[in-house]
Amino acid sequence: MEQEYDVVVIGGGPGGYVAAIRAAQLGRSVALVEKERPGGVCLNWGCIPTKAMLRSAEVLETVRHAEEYGVKAPEALLDYPAVVARRDGIVRGLTDGIARLLDANGVTVLTGHARFLDAHTVAVHDTVPPPGDENGPGYAAPPADGPPRTTIKGRNIVIATGSRPVAPRIDGGDLPGVITSDGAFGLPEVPRRVVVVGGSAIGAEWAGLLHSFGAEVTVVEIMSTLVPAEDVEIARMLTRAFDKRGIRVLTGHTVTGIRSVLGGLSVDVEAVGGGEAGEVPADVVLFGIGRLPNTEELDLDRAGVAVDVRGYILVDDQLRTDVAHIHAIGDVTGRRQLAHVASHQGLVAAGVICGHEESIDYSVIPAATFTHPEVASVGLTEARAADEGHAVVAARFPFAALGRAHTYGATEGMAKVVADSRTGRVLGMHIIGPGASELIAAPALALTHDATLASVAATIHAHPTLGEATLEATMSALGLPVHTAPRRRRSHRP
């Protein structure tokens, strides 16, 4: 007889395992089907391993500049195998920890690939091990045919199968040495020359990381700045910072083809609009653009679950699909493809399944890009706020005017606040500089609770800290700067 559960979760990434644990905490019987290791892309091939390697790069850069801090150190040398070993050890420890959490909460974990048989029944198939070749860690796949190992029933089902990077569809995109961001984890050594295609968060992080490790890096980005989703001032500052570090940045350019040549690869680039064209030599070409949802092999049609033309599952603000008892969370929903969004969606979906009146608000989602300097933001950009009809006031505070930044040895960057001058409500905060990814949490809380410039300015911040930058930017927006000279505030009125 098929085992029946209150909740069946398909996918054990940052959305799936969180949803499973929360549903179990709320008293439901829960099964989680995961075809590989718990933690999903974020933990195994994304957020955590890249940050582990970025930390190694940060330590390397610090030692290289140790004399600036009055410390004499021997020559800093990179031990790339040791970096990889440390990274993999961290990932193993965290995946093991998630497995223990699932067990401690009474979640039944089934290893295999899930396919719908009907709207309540899921077949669990054995999977084919991933190849693990130079093109990346690979993903376990279901066999082409054959009966399932087992079937289970779910009164409610949560789909959390995530996404995968898009392979390039250009001439030469299948050549050896052309990889996706996942494939970068399989590099046996640091390449001498790398072309990174795409200057958004993933591409920018890999570009900075490989440059710190000694690679000659060129970034090709079709938009006019790196991280084009960020506030334009922040994006321009990061673009200048990359150029200053010696990372070649070709914004407003696209890759038209890749050719194999003696000694490596040649990447054909062209200015947007058919302008200037050229070639960039490379040993590795890393594509950091776009992802596709993992929905094709779920047999969603058997469950009656609708998808859009790209394969993303359609959901409402309570994460319900068009089949009331089936929810979808994370990258497969096509909303914000961020691990923390998937986790929050998992909490909401589990709560809704358990009878709570919950929904998700996408207006306050912090984002961080772990470049050097870091970039983080929450809420509206200055341009977006003006487009939405706000009477915008924007002000900024440079880290160069902050005592803690000087003691830290990192004065590059600024904090920028965007607010509505009529109501005083804070609409967005944008940071580029040391610790930006940590600093953004407080502004996110402020936006969640509709804080005003006055209420933020009235909040005492510890001194000396990097967090004072957001306070000072807020006071400047009020026309009351203390640690910078008065300047005309930028404002827009509808």
Q: Over pLDDT 90: what percentage of the chain?
A: 83
Structural domain total, the chain: 3
CATH number of the domain enclosing 50: 3.50.50.60
Give residue 133's pLDDT.
Answer: 42
For the chain, how long is the longest CA-to-CA vector?
A: 75
Give residue 1's pLDDT.
Answer: 64
* Residues 419, 431 within the same domain: yes
pLDDT tens digit string along 439-470?
A: 999 999 999 999 999 999 999 999 999 999 99
Q: How far is CA 16 from CA 9, 43, 302, 339, 346, in A?
A: 6, 13, 21, 11, 6
* Residues 300, 395 within the same domain: no
More confidently predicted of 313 and 288: 313
Banded model confidence at residue 43, pLDDT cuts 50, 70, 90? confident
* Residues 159, 12 within the same domain: yes
Across 234-262, average pLDDT = 96
Q: Does residue 172 belong to any structural domain of this protein?
A: no
CATH number of the domain enclosing 470: 3.30.390.30
Among residues 287, 303, 333, the one where a domain terminates is 287
Banded model confidence at residue 142, pLDDT cuts 50, 70, 90? low
Across 122-145, average pLDDT = 63
Give residue 30's pLDDT.
Answer: 98
Residue 192 burial (C-beta neighbours within 10 Å; 0-12, 13-18, 19+)? middle
* Residues 70, 219 within the same domain: no
Is 90 exceeded by the pLDDT of residue 148?
Answer: no
* Residues 323, 283 within the same domain: no
Q: For tokens 């959390």, what's the residue?
A: 160
* Residues 143, 8 within the same domain: yes
Give residue 135's pLDDT.
Answer: 40
pLDDT tens digit string along 424-443?
A: 999 999 999 999 999 999 99
* Residues 82, 94 within the same domain: yes
Across 303-322, average pLDDT = 95
Across 128-148, average pLDDT = 58
Between the two ends of the chain, the Cα-to-Cα distance in Å is 65
* Residues 12, 155 within the same domain: yes
More confidently predicted of 151 and 277: 151
Is 60 exceeded by the pLDDT of residue 494?
Answer: no
Convert 380-412 to b/e letters by CB count within 10 Å (16 or more is b): bbbeebbeeebebbbbbbbbebbebbeebebbb
Q: Which of 372, 463, 483, 492 is catalytic?
A: 463
Is 60 exceeded by the pLDDT of residue 219?
Answer: yes
Which range marks the domain in which residue 347 is found?
3-165+291-353
How many CB atoms neighbour CB 352 within 10 A?
A: 20
Is 90 exceeded by the pLDDT of residue 46?
Answer: no
Convert 64-81 to b/e letters by CB count within 10 Å (16 or more is b): eeeeeeeeeeeeeeeeee
* 463 included as an active-site residue: yes
pLDDT tens digit string along 289-308?
A: 888 999 999 999 999 999 99
Q: Give residues with Cβ within 8 angstroms of 419, minimum separation 6.
A: 392, 393, 394, 425, 426, 427, 452, 453, 477
Q: Does residue 452 belong to any structural domain of this protein?
A: yes
Banded model confidence at residue 136, pLDDT cuts 50, 70, 90? very low
Residue among 310, 313, 289, 291 at smallest CA distance from 301: 313
Banded model confidence at residue 275, pLDDT cuts 50, 70, 90? confident
**CA dist., res. 275 & res. 255, Å (int):** 13
Across 167-174, average pLDDT = 88
Is 70 exceeded by the pLDDT of residue 140?
Answer: no
Give residue 298's pLDDT.
Answer: 95
3-class secondary structure, 312: coil
More confidently predicted of 486 and 370: 370
Is 80 exceeded by the pLDDT of residue 104?
Answer: yes
* Residues 50, 158 within the same domain: yes
Q: For tokens 């020359």, what's the residue?
A: 193
Banded model confidence at residue 168, pLDDT cuts 50, 70, 90? confident
Among residues 259, 287, 315, the one where a domain terminates is 287
Give residue 40's pLDDT.
Answer: 84
Banded model confidence at residue 492, pLDDT cuts 50, 70, 90? low
* DSSP output for 115-179: EESSSSEEEEE--BPP---TT-S---B--SS---SEEEEEEEEEE---EEEPPP-SBTTTSTTEE
Tokens of 317: 């603000």
Give residue 44's pLDDT.
Answer: 84
Is 60 exceeded by the pLDDT of residue 170?
Answer: yes
Give residue 485's pLDDT.
Answer: 66
Give residue 273's pLDDT.
Answer: 79
Q: Are strands 193-197 and 216-221 parallel, antiparallel or unpaired?
A: parallel
Is 70 exceeded by the pLDDT of residue 491?
Answer: no
Residue among 161, 139, 137 at smallest CA distance from 311: 161
Give residue 401's pLDDT.
Answer: 94
pTM: 0.92
Among residues 287, 310, 340, the one where a domain terminates is 287
User: Which of 124-138, 244-258, 462-476 is predicted least confidently?
Assistant: 124-138
* Residues 279, 298 within the same domain: no
Consecutive H or E run containing 242? helix 232-245
* Residues 159, 217 within the same domain: no
More confidently predicted of 484 and 303: 303
pLDDT tens digit string along 51-99?
A: 999 999 999 999 999 999 999 988 899 999 999 999 999 999 999 999 9
Q: For tokens 């709207």, what's the residue?
A: 119
Is 50 exceeded by the pLDDT of residue 243?
Answer: yes
Is 80 exceeded by the pLDDT of residue 134?
Answer: no
pLDDT tens digit string along 178-211?
A: 999 888 998 999 999 999 999 999 999 999 999 9
